[in-house]
Each structure stands twice: as structure tokens, then as C-alpha cells.
Amino acid sequence: MVMQDLKENVGRLLNMSLYYRYVDDILIMAKEEEVDKIFDVFNSYHYRLKFTIEFENNRSINFLDLSLIVVDNRLTIDWFHKNTFSGRYLSFYSNHPNCMKRGIVYGLVDRAILLSHPPFFNKNICLCIDMLIENGYPLDYIFNNINVRIKSSIERYKVASDGGEVSLNNNKNLENKIKKHLVIPFIKGISGRVGGIFDKSDTLMGYRTLNGLDKFIKVQKDITSKNCKSHVVYKINCKDCDSTYVGQTKRQLQTRIKEHKNNLRMDSSKHSVISQHIMEYDHRFDWENIDIMDVEHNYKRRLISEMLHIKEQPKGLNYMRDTELLSESYTSILNEISTLKYSRF
């Protein structure tokens, strides 16, 4: 909004042949004698806004991912990379589905072609090949997928030349067919077979990796205390026996725990299973060491997580109705996981 306001208030005072902005990058074409004035006006708009300037060099200037080159008074475009560009992409040996690796190849080919004019195609495709090799992609995999993408690009160009509608997506009328999206964890050898079941359905499959960089690279933010966390699945342990209770809440954990404690003061007809356990056996619960089993902002997924953790309990206090929505097909594997998990202690 600030940059838009800047253009509206300052732009009309300046003599610019061309003004194009993308977020905070601005491309301006103006007479040489007007450049210093334009730069000063922009920098005087607000004391917190300070712009830098880059001039054309040898009839060429870089803007975003493009090199804009004037040849024989005609504008030619090439794909541009900054000096800090590393060429690092998803490694072929990483634990990701093949569709993501294929997407890396397609994405590079699209940028090599769509962000440049024909004289630069060969150079840019060679650059793509070099980068893919550096990231571990086999040559036959590279060339097969590059050929597929180039052929589809040619077909799109023919459609556009005939006045048809062009889509970068190879699946025709995909937006009309797809009604649902389903994302599952990627496990090599298993997820692909599961995805194949949905190939002919109205569901578009997606995959997510279980090992993300967020497990190793932490954002340096203030750590939220356990009691202040929200959207959690939690477990309360009895101090005097092995009984446990699993619940979920979208509010702060301390708010939900306070409700559990206050329930004990209510009429016995309104007692929760925790209060009933305390009254019947004169046991105490460990309110200071609540276990957070999961953090999930999506309500449906949080409910599923709660049911799974309820099923895992060897001596759970939860009512049976708390897991009645969980498919029976999970029972055997959950029992096996629970047995392996708690047999260690």
C-alpha cells in the first residue's frame, strides 16, 4: 500500500516514460537528465524509505529474474541470476516423491523458456542440465523430462497461435474434475500405491515429507511455555497409578487444565472421568507435568490425532465414545504400536 501511495502521489509529479513495480522493485525509463531528480523525490517521500538505484550497462539492465537487453532498438529478454544464486535444488537422492523431482525439472525448463527469447534457449537449457546434474539427477531422467516439457511447451505455443486458451497445466479441465485434495505423508514404496487408488477418482493426491528442515533449522523466536501453547493434544498422568487421560483443545493449555481442576468442585453428576477417578480412588493427577502429544491447528486432524493417542493408552480413562469415529482398520496396528511403545518401560 505504501508503494502504491508513493506512485500515486509522486509519480504524477515526475516525467517518466515507463514505470513498472513488482512489490518493492521498480523499473523506470526516463531521460538521463531527469534521473537524479526522480531519485531525490523518491528518497524524500518518507524518512524511513531509502531507495538504491541501478543504471543500464551496455544497453542492458537486470530486473527481477530478467535481463532486459536492447538490440537494434528492440527489447530482448534473457533469464537472469544474481551473484548469490547457488543452483541448489531438491536433491534427486532426497526422500521425496518422484512427482516433486519431475516438477523441479519442469519448473527449470519453464523458466528457461518463458523468461527468455529464442536466441537464449539453448544456453538456458544447458544451464538447467548442469544444475540438475549438480543436484544428482541422472542424465536419462533429465533428458526424458526435458523433452516431455519442451514438447508440451510447443503444443501450448501452437494452441496460443491458433487463438486457443493456454494452460501451463497438462491436465485439461483439471479445475472442473478435481473436487477434493488429499495430502498424505510420503513413505517410499507405500504412498505411491495408495495414491494409485485415487487416480481415477475426483481426488487430487498430494504428499508431504516427514523429515523437514524445520526439525533441524529453528526460527529464533521466543519459546512459548508449555502451558501457553494452543491447538494441542495433551495427556494427563495419574501420580498414584498408570491411568492417563488424553484430550485436545484449541485454547491455551492452561485454560483447559484449569477447567479440569474446577470440574472437581461441581456436582457429582457433572464430574468428568478425571474427577470420578480422583473421588473414587483418592488419587492425584500430575497437573504440573502435562504431556503435549501433538500440535495441530486443523480441527479435524487434531481430533484424529486425539483419537489415535487415546487408542495408544494402555490404561486410558477416556470414554469409548471418544474414539467411535476412528475406523476399526486402525485398531490392530495401533495395538501393536502401543505394545511396542510401552513394553520398553
Residue 13: per-residue pLDDT = 67
Answer for the pair 235, 308: CB distance below 8 angstroms, yes or no.
Answer: no
What is the DSSP annotation of 265-326?
A: TS-GGG--HHHHHHHHH---B-TTS-EEEEE--SHHHHHHHHHHHHHH-TTB-S-GGGGTTS
Residue 26: how many CB atoms within 10 A of its CB? 17
Residue 219: per-residue pLDDT = 67
Answer for the pair 34, 55: CB distance below 8 angstroms, yes or no.
Answer: no
Which candidate, 238, 327, 344, places its Cα nearest to that of 283?
A: 238
What is the residue-level pLDDT of the chain in tens, covering all 345 positions? 777 777 777 766 677 888 888 888 888 888 888 888 888 888 887 888 888 888 988 889 999 999 999 988 899 999 999 999 999 999 999 989 999 999 999 999 999 999 999 999 999 999 999 999 999 999 999 999 999 999 988 887 776 666 655 555 555 454 555 567 888 888 888 888 887 887 777 788 888 887 777 777 766 667 778 889 999 999 999 999 999 999 999 999 999 999 999 999 999 899 999 999 999 999 999 999 999 999 999 998 899 899 989 988 888 999 877 777 777 777 777 677 666 665 654
Sequence spans of domains, the chain: 1-55, 226-343
Whole-prediction pTM? 0.64
Amino acid identity of residue 269, one-letter, is S
226-343, CATH topology level: GIY-YIG endonuclease (3.40.1440)
Grouping H, G, I as helix, E, B as strand and the rest as coil, residue 149 is helix
Report H helices in 83-223.
98-114, 121-134, 139-161, 174-177, 191-197
